Chain A
Amino acid sequence: MTTVTLNGLRTIPAKYVPVLVTACLFVAMFVAGGIRYEGFASGQVILNVFIDNAFLLVVAVGMTFVILTGGIDLSVGSVVALSTMISASLMKGPGWPPYLVIPLVLLIGSALGMVMGYIIHAFEIQPFIVTLAGMFLARGLCYTIGTDSIPIEDPTFTAFAQTRIDLFADLWISPSVIIAAVVVLVAAYVLHYTRLGRSVYATGGSEQSALLMGLPVARTKITVYTISGFCSALGGVLLSFYMLSGYGLHAVGMELDAIAAVVIGGTLLTGGSGFLLGTVLGVLVLGLIQTVISFEGTLSSWWTKIFIGLLLFVFILLQRLFSARRT
Chain B
Amino acid sequence: MAVPAPILQMSGIGKQFPGVKALDGVDLRLLPGEVHALMGENGAGKSTLIKVLTGVHPIDAGTIELLGEPVAFGSPLAAQGAGISTVYQEVNLCANLSVAENIFVGREPRRWGRIDWPRMRARAAELLARLELDLDVSAPLSTYSPAIQQMVAIARAIDIEARVLILDEPTSSLDAVEVEQLFKVMRSLKEEGIAILFVSHFLDQVYEISDRMTILRNGRLVGEYLTKELSQVELVAKMIGQELAALEKLHGEAKVFDRSLLEARGLGRAGAIEPFTLTVHEGEVVGLAGLLGSGRTEIARLLFGADHASAGDVTMDGTAVSLRTPRVAMNHRIAFCSENRKSDGLIPDLTLRENIILALQATRGWTRPVPREQQDELVGKYITALKISPPNPEHLVRDLSGGNQQKVLLARWLILEPRLLILDEPTRGIDIGAKTEIQRLVAQLSDGGMAVLFISAELEEVLRLSHKVGVLRDRRLVAELPNDDDLTMDVLMETIASGGASGGRAE
Report A's interface with B, CB cutoff 8 A: 13-15, 189, 192-195, 198-199, 201-202, 204-206, 208-216, 272-273
Contacts and interface: CB of A to CB of B under 8 A. Distances in A.
B454 interface: no
B145 to A, nearest CB: 16
Given A15-B140, A213-B105, A204 B77 contact: no
A202 B105 contact: yes
B47 interface: no
Contact of B94 (A14, A202, A214, A216): A202
A206 B76 contact: no
A144 B96 CA distance: 44
13 contacts: A13-B139, A193-B114, A194-B113, A198-B108, A204-B96, A206-B96, A209-B92, A209-B93, A210-B105, A213-B92, A214-B76, A214-B77, A214-B106
Nearest to B80: A214
A201 B96 contact: yes
A212 B88 contact: yes
A204 B97 CA distance: 10
B140 A213 contact: no
A213 B106 contact: yes
B86 interface: yes
Contact of A209 (B81, B94, B108): B94
A214 B115 CA distance: 18
B156 interface: yes
Closest CB pairs A-B (n = 9): A205-B94, A214-B77, A205-B96, A272-B96, A193-B114, A209-B92, A212-B92, A214-B80, A202-B94
Contacts of A198: 97, 101, 105, 108, 115
A202 B93 CA distance: 9
Given A212-B88, A214-B75, A214-B80, A195 B115 contact: yes
B105 A215 contact: yes
Contacts of B114: 189, 193-194
A195 B108 contact: yes
Nearest to A193: B114
A233 B92 CA distance: 37
B489 interface: no
Contacts of B86: 212
A205 B140 CA distance: 11
Interface residues on B, range: 20 to 34
Interface string B440-470: 0000000000000000000000000000000
Contacts of B92: 206, 208-209, 212-213
Given A15-B140, A195-B106, A195-B108, A210 B94 contact: yes
Interface in B71-104: 75-77, 80-81, 86, 88, 92-97, 101
Contacts of A272: 94, 96-97
Contacts of A199: 105-106
Nearest to A206: B94
A304 to B, nearest CB: 36
A212 B86 CA distance: 9
Given A194-B114, A201-B97, 14 more contacts: A14-B140, A193-B114, A198-B101, A198-B105, A198-B108, A198-B115, A199-B105, A202-B97, A202-B106, A212-B56, A213-B94, A215-B77, A215-B106, A273-B96
A272 B88 CA distance: 21
A206 B108 CA distance: 18
Contact of A206 (B56, B95, B156): B95
A214 B105 CA distance: 9
Contacts of A205: 94-97
A214 B75 CA distance: 8
Contacts of B101: 198, 202
A13 B139 CA distance: 8
A13 to B, nearest CB: 8
A204 B95 CA distance: 10
A205 B95 CA distance: 7
A7 to B, nearest CB: 20
* Residue in B106, B110, B114 with the greatest tally of chain A CB atoms within 10 Å: B106
A130 B93 CA distance: 28
* Residue in A195, A213, A215 with the greatest tally of chain B CB atoms within 10 Å: A213
Nearest to B95: A205
A213 B54 CA distance: 11
Contacts of A206: 92-96
A162 to B, nearest CB: 38
B460 to A, nearest CB: 33
Nearest to B110: A195
* Residue in A192, A193, A201, A272 with the greatest tally of chain B CB atoms within 10 Å: A193
A251 B139 CA distance: 40
Interface in B101-129: 101, 105-106, 108, 110, 113-115
Contacts of A208: 92
A196 to B, nearest CB: 10
Contacts of B110: 195
A216 B108 contact: no
Contacts of A195: 106, 108, 110, 115
Contacts of A213: 76, 92-94, 105-106, 156
Interface string B142-184: 0000000000000010000000000000000000000000000
A215 B114 CA distance: 17
A147 to B, nearest CB: 46
A212 B76 contact: yes
A292 B264 CA distance: 57
* Residue in B96, B113, B139 with the greatest tally of chain A CB atoms within 10 Å: B96
* Residue in B81, B105, B108 with the greatest tally of chain A CB atoms within 10 Å: B105
A11 to B, nearest CB: 14
B94 A201 contact: yes
Interface in B45-81: 56, 75-77, 80-81
A202 B94 CA distance: 6
A208 B56 CA distance: 11
A37 to B, nearest CB: 41
Contacts of A189: 114
